[in-house]
Amino acid sequence: MYQYDQYDHLIIRERIEQYRDQVQRRLNDELTEAEFLPLRLQNGLYMQRHAYMLRIAVPYGLLSSKQMRMFAHIARKYDRGYGHFTTRQNIQFNWIKLEETPEILSDLASVEMHAIQTSGNCIRNVTSDEFAGVAADEIIDPRPYAEVLRQWSTFHPEFIALPRKFKVAINGAVEDRAAIAVHDIGLTVVHNEAGEIGFKVMVGGGMGRTPILGSVIREFLPREHLLTYIEAIMRVYNLHGRRDNKYKARIKILLKALGVEEFTRQVEVEWEDLKGTEQTLTLEEMERIIAYFQPHAYKSLPAIDPAAAHADNKAFGNWLKRNVKAHKVPGYAAVVLSLKKTGVPPGDATAEQMDFMADLADRYSFSELRVTHEQNIVLADVEQSQLFDLWQEIKAHGLATPNIGLLTDIICCPGGDFCSLANAKSIPIAQAIAERFDRIDFLHDIGDFELNISGCINACGHHHVGNIGVLGVDKDGSEWYQVSIGGAQGNNSAIGKIIGPSFSAQQMPEVIDRLLQVYVRERTPEERFVDTAQRLGIAPFKEYVYATPIETAGRLVGEDEYA
């Protein structure tokens, strides 16, 4: 993985001094809260319901064991012993004191990490495929280009006060695991007919109030032009994106207003005299960065069937089926450690679990880990012959729930328990649903499933692209939940359709149950839930869900259990 050189270290060090001074001036009242707000946001510090929340960047989701141990240290020293992995492959801590944030940043800098631009109206942490570099279906490793973008976008002087936040995702595999279609810029690393490397450039995807999938504005951008072309996109957006209404300020609205053709034309005109300038990537620089992402020193191993020696162990078999993914090197596999154990808020990990995962990385996986946008952790390079030992170890630490890609592998934002933007709680809904369907055979029968829950329209829980999406809404001061079906992420991204009037929290598990009943009744043998939902449309689901009243008195896990 990438390692800081003297320049990275210098910039981060100077950043911490700048930020330390800003905090001091805020505490001395030399800065008003209104003036401090964008400064702290560009450092990932939010004011939440109970305390400050600090979001730390995990560039493109890649972590060393040392960095994971630092998270455990921060959780213990500055927080309440746990952290929350996010849908943007970052981690956030929810119980932070403002006065301590400069120290946290110093601790992070010691392991080459920071919180720069994890929030605010600027270019955010670039996200990517959690299986980058190891996926069997990978064409080109996207991480070097993500790192190039990280450096270029860090403190870009011209794009620090954009109309709104700006998210870039990059994928280099056949299957899109980075959800590029719902990003402001979605890049796919591709080869052209001549075999040269470049990018397919998609712009204007996003969720929030106006969910929309990105449009391709360029089929092939030679890779050396990556930065100048993105600069052109950014300048068009910075100058022409709406600033009068924050809900209409994302680039997707500009692109829609201009039309793809006109938007593309403006970008190309803007790019004309940028093309070929000094910011153009050199082959040396690309090769230098690529050198940091070379394959590990893999052993020469035979590919084996890891289930063969344990054919009678159904639990291990279930785990292999759901949590272990194909690796491009024979004899190796990628393992997903589930942070979706029933009873734990999705994406949360304790300090003990973080230390434990770091140890696992050291012993099983070249000391590296990845954070997934589904809020799980990946050990990307495990020898197949060690899978059974690994599984036995992680079971004892609550990380072996065999539910990756299943109904209970819920994407969920922190919601009203923590977030001051939320209209409704999301974690207790995820909890109640997970409890209701906590039967592994049933989950495996239902099969591939994406249940995504957001506590408000900002859609941090990606509800628009959930096969079932749940959105918390505020109606006359109480919390309700709107349900959509048929959304999907990946190569066949789709925005879900709302099935009808919203539900109370207590009704939600039953609503999900009824939707599943319709699926089980209507599915063909090959169909996943999303296929059935997209084939039939919402009508049969709607009819059945609303046919009879739903009990509202069910038990729901309360806020206090997580506070």
Partner 1 sequence: MPKQIIKGREIVANDWTLLRAPEAAEGSTAEDAATAAEALTVPAGRVIVPLATWLAQRDALASRAAAGEIGVWIAPHEDPAALREDLPRLALVAVDFPKFTDGRGYSHAWNLRSRLGWTGELRAIGDVLRDQLFSMQRVGFDAYDTRPDRSIEDALKGLTVFSETYQASVDQRVPLFRRHARPTPAAGA
Long-range Cβ contacts of 150-156 (<8 Å, 24+ apart): 150/59, 150/60, 150/125, 150/126, 151/8, 152/227, 152/230, 152/279, 153/117, 153/122, 153/123, 153/126, 154/11, 154/116, 154/117, 155/11, 155/15, 155/116, 156/122, 156/123, 156/234
Stretch touching partner 1 by CB under 8 A, among 92-100, 187-195, 283-291, 420-428: 283-291
Q: 288 or 475: whose CB is closer to partner 1?
A: 288
DSSP 3-state assignment of 37?
A: helix
Nearer to partner 1, 147 or 355 (CB): 147
The angle at the Cα of 140, spanning 218 to 301, to the nearest 5 degrees, equals 165
Q: Which is nearer to partner 1, 293 or 316 (CB)?
A: 293
Among 28, 29, 157, 245, binds partner 1 (CB under 8 A): 157
Could you identify the residue written with the tokens 């729901």?
556
Residues 423 and 470 sit within 8 Å (Cβ to Cβ): no
Cross-strand pairs, 52:
47, 96
Nearer to partner 1, 22 or 94 (CB): 22
Binding segment (CB under 8 A) for partner 1, from list 102-110, 145-153, 301-309, 495-503: 145-153
Measured from the CB atom, the residue of 80 and 156 that comes closer to partner 1 is 156
Q: Residue 528 has which token pair?
A: 């996943």
Q: Does 155 bind partner 1 (CB under 8 A)?
A: yes
Residue 415 CB neighbours (<10 A): 27
108, 377 in Cβ contact below 8 A?
Answer: no
Is 80 or 235 the residue whose CB approaches partner 1 more closely? 235
Q: Which residue stretch of 276-284, 324-332, 397-405, 522-530 sits at the interface with partner 1 (rule: CB under 8 A)? A: 276-284
Neighbour tally for 6: CB within 10 Å: 7
* Cβ closest to partner 1, residue 7 vs residue 300: 7
Tokens of 451: 């249940």
299-308: long-range contacts at Cβ-Cβ below 8 A with a sequence spacing of 24 or more?
Answer: 299/331, 299/383, 300/331, 301/329, 301/330, 301/331, 301/332, 301/383, 301/384, 301/385, 302/330, 302/331, 303/330, 303/331, 303/384, 304/331, 304/384, 304/385, 306/333, 306/384, 306/385, 306/387, 306/388
Q: Are 71 and 350 in contact (CB under 8 A)?
A: no
Give residue 186's Cα distance to chain centre.
14
- CA dihedral over 523, 527, 530, 532, signed as positive or negative: negative
Candidates 77, 292, 551, 552: give the one binding partner 1 (CB under 8 A): 292
Q: Which of 238, 342, 385, 386 binds partner 1 (CB under 8 A)?
A: 238
Single out the segment in contact with partner 1 by CB under 8 A; choices: 125-133, 149-157, 186-194, 373-381.
149-157
5 in contact with partner 1 (CB under 8 A): yes
CB 65 within 8 A of CB 368: yes
Name which of 18 and 110 has its Cβ closer to partner 1: 18
Exactly one of 49, 80, 235, 256 binds partner 1 (CB under 8 A); which one? Answer: 235
Contacts with partner 1 by CB under 8 A: the residue count is: 43
CB of 272 or CB of 560, closer to partner 1: 272
Q: How far is the CB of 430 from partner 1 (least distance, A)?
A: 34
C-beta of 380: minimal distance to partner 1 in Å?
Answer: 18
Nearer to partner 1, 5 or 305 (CB): 5
Q: Which of 210, 279, 385, 386 binds partner 1 (CB under 8 A)?
A: 279
- Contact between 291 and partner 1 per CB under 8 A: yes
Distances (CA, A) of 507 to 73, 196, 429: 39, 54, 10
Query: Would you say 136 or 197 has its CB closer to partner 1?
Result: 197
From the CB of 100, what's the least distance to partner 1, in Å?
21
Confirm or reject binding of residue 192 to partner 1 (CB under 8 A). no
Instruction: Say whether residue 282 binds partner 1 (CB under 8 A).
Output: yes
**Residue 330 near residue 301 (C-beta atoms within 8 A):** yes
Q: Is 288 in the site for partner 1 (CB under 8 A)?
A: yes
- Look at residue 538 and give its three-state secondary structure: coil
Report the alpha-carbon distance of residue 507 to residue 496 in Å, rounded: 20
Rule CB under 8 A: choose which of 151, 210, 458, 506 binds partner 1.
151
Helix, coil or strand: residue 423: coil
**What residues numbered 31-90 form the site for partner 1, per CB under 8 A?**
35, 38-39
CA dist list (Å): 265 to 119, 168, 188, 218, 430: 30, 21, 21, 11, 44
Task: Pick the binder of partner 1 from 24, 110, 277, 478 (CB under 8 A).
Answer: 277
CB 23 → partner 1: shortest distance, Å? 12
Q: Least distance to partner 1 from the beta carbon of 288, Å?
A: 5
From 8-16, 173-181, 250-258, 394-402, span contacting partner 1 (CB under 8 A):
8-16
Nearer to partner 1 (CB atom), residue 278 or residue 560: 278
Please give the Cα distance from 358 to 364 (Å, whole number). 10
Task: Pick the piece of the chain touching partner 1 (CB under 8 A) from 217-225, 254-262, 284-292, 418-426.
Answer: 284-292
Regarding 269 and contact with partner 1 (CB under 8 A), the answer is no
User: Is residue 130 within 8 Å of 89, Cβ to Cβ?
Assistant: yes
Among 68, 96, 227, 545, the residue binding partner 1 under the rule CB under 8 A is 227
What lies within 8 Å, CB to CB, of 265 at 6+ separation is none
End-to-end CA distance of the chain: 36
Considering only the stretches 291-299, 373-381, 387-395, 412-420, report the one whose residues sit in contact with partner 1 under the rule CB under 8 A.
291-299
**What's the rounded Cα separation, in Å, for the pair 129 and 117?**
20
Which of the ranges 46-54, 151-159, 404-412, 488-496 carries the binding residues for partner 1, by CB under 8 A? Answer: 151-159
Residue found under tokens 């809020």? 375
Q: Is 29 in the site for partner 1 (CB under 8 A)?
A: no
Decide: is 262 part of the binding site for partner 1 (CB under 8 A): no
Helix (H) or strand (E) holding 200: strand 197-203
- In the complex, the residues that contact partner 1 under the rule CB under 8 A are 3, 5, 7, 10-11, 14-15, 17-18, 22, 30, 35, 38-39, 121, 151-162, 227, 235, 238-239, 243, 273, 277-279, 281-282, 285, 288, 291-292, 294
